[in-house]
Copies of this chain bind each other. A is one copy, B any other.
Amino acid sequence: MYKALKVIDIGSKLWLCNTWKSNLARAITTSSYCKIKEEVAKLLALKAQLTNDAPPQKFVLKTPKGTRDYNPQQMAIRNSVLQKIISVFKKHGAECIDTPVFELKEVLTGKYGEDSKLIYDLKDQGGEILSLRYDLTVPLARYLAMNKINNLKRYHIAKVYRRDNPAMTRGRYREFYQCDFDIAGQFDPMVPDAECLKVVTEILDSLDIGKYILKVNHRCLLDGMFEACGVPAEQFRSTCSTIDKLDKSPWQEVRTEMINEKGVTPEAADRIGEYVRLNGSTELVDKLLQDEKLSKSKSAVEGLQGIKLLLEYCELYGIKDKVLFDLSLARGLDYYTGIIYEAVLTEPIKIGGEEQSVGSIAGGGRYDNLVGMFDTKNKQVPCVGISVGVERVFSVLEARLAAGELSVRPSEIDVYVASAQKDFLTTRMRICNELWDAGIKAEQPYKKNPKMLNQLQHCEENGIPLAVILGESELKRGLVKIRNIVTRQEDEVPRDKLVEELKNRINMLNINVNGLEK
């Protein structure tokens, strides 16, 4: 009944509503129980029919919270960004690996500190206990240990999963891509570490999304700093993850959390506060090497010397002006043991007149003990790597697309095979087949008798540069028309020279496009 009443509300199928009312009226006036029963049955049948016409969708159609689909335009953007990143990775000799989207839960346990609560678990369906990967670093370490590999320069581009409450408008999701580049192996200090920074600059330069700075710090310096400030060793890691919040929260809040939640004394916190406001370059390293408290900590000195060497190598690689030694950089994850870095865009990005703040866009560091955690003999394989936060890049480019500052073409079709009159379906199919067999990207309307206007409109909307137009009179003379969609120029060419003619024109167009791109 509810369904029938709803019909009245929306004012459609009014005849049915009227049928229902007159049937009901008749049923009541006869006053016969049987009659009523009969009429009710009819009404129920009518209702069932209505329901069949429109089976109620019982749940809201959506993607899971924090996830999204990528439509063809977004995928075109995504694939072009990933292609640029991959070409940088390959320039540095990285090989590609892939690992399963889930791991034994035990593999992930104890690797992420406070963030472990964000791990997605699979339901126990009577087998192994599994979790979705949280990053690509722990799976790499598992892969190295499991296969007893001591040496690998690899990239890995894949989705990772975090049960966070992300701000999707800023390109943060529960399912998101990571692009990782890591160098595993026993090498001389800071040589691979500096190359990771070089890789980040090459990627950010090729993506051309604005000015950036590469912040660097060293976990040994952080430990030494905590030690010098009077924090007990067992509180180093948790204090470190509080420091990590400095990029989003002011010092006062971080100080309060340190004292109230991490059990750091106010005096120690204030001493830490003095250090974490410092940033600079080689001159700051030299100054801190002379610092009364830090110079007494073996760990701090080790960290400072590491940063000094890294900065020297960054100079060799022509990127020192982009690197900032920043004592407030901590990184959240437990597994870092040496240098840590983070690339941050320094200017808000202007899109359609509005400014969008992007912030951190890549990060990483050295983790020398992670592989050993998986090895029965605790055999270590030192590693260093970076991870590019491509979702932020996608988000910026998609906003530019929406603002009309960028255009993409999801389909790569070069030739549309159209017909001006009826009954050309099989001729169109035959020509398409010739073009496909010749390697030409071609399509045709899948309809018997498409309208000419719709066909040309399809070409314009999809940026298809050329159309073959079939007409009876031309075909009788052994000719077909080729139309340039942009210039609207049409030329008749011999039917048996069609493939050749099209290939020439496609080549010409490509030269022109490439010419324009320069």
Contact = CB atoms under 8 A, between A and B. Distances in A.
A120 interface: yes
A76 interface: yes
A378 B123 contact: no
A41 interface: no
Contact of A128 (B65, B71, B125): B65
Given A128-B65, A429-B317, A96 B120 contact: no
Contact of A187 (B59, B430, B447): B447
Q: How many copies does the complex hold?
A: 2
Nearest to A173: B100
Interface in A94-126: 94-104, 106-107, 120-125
A103 B64 CA distance: 6
Contacts of A153: 411, 443
Contacts of A128: 64-65
Contacts of A318: 433, 437
A100 B61 contact: no
A95 B410 contact: yes
Contacts of A443: 92-93, 153
Contacts of A202: 436
Interface stretch (A142-150, A224-232, A288-296, A345-353): A142-150
Contacts of A440: 91
Interface of A: 53-59, 61-65, 67-72, 75-76, 78-79, 90-104, 106-107, 120-125, 127-128, 130, 132, 142-143, 145-147, 152-154, 159, 161, 163, 175, 183, 185, 187-188, 191-192, 194-195, 198, 202, 313, 316-318, 373-378, 410-413, 425-426, 429-430, 433, 436-437, 439-443, 446-448
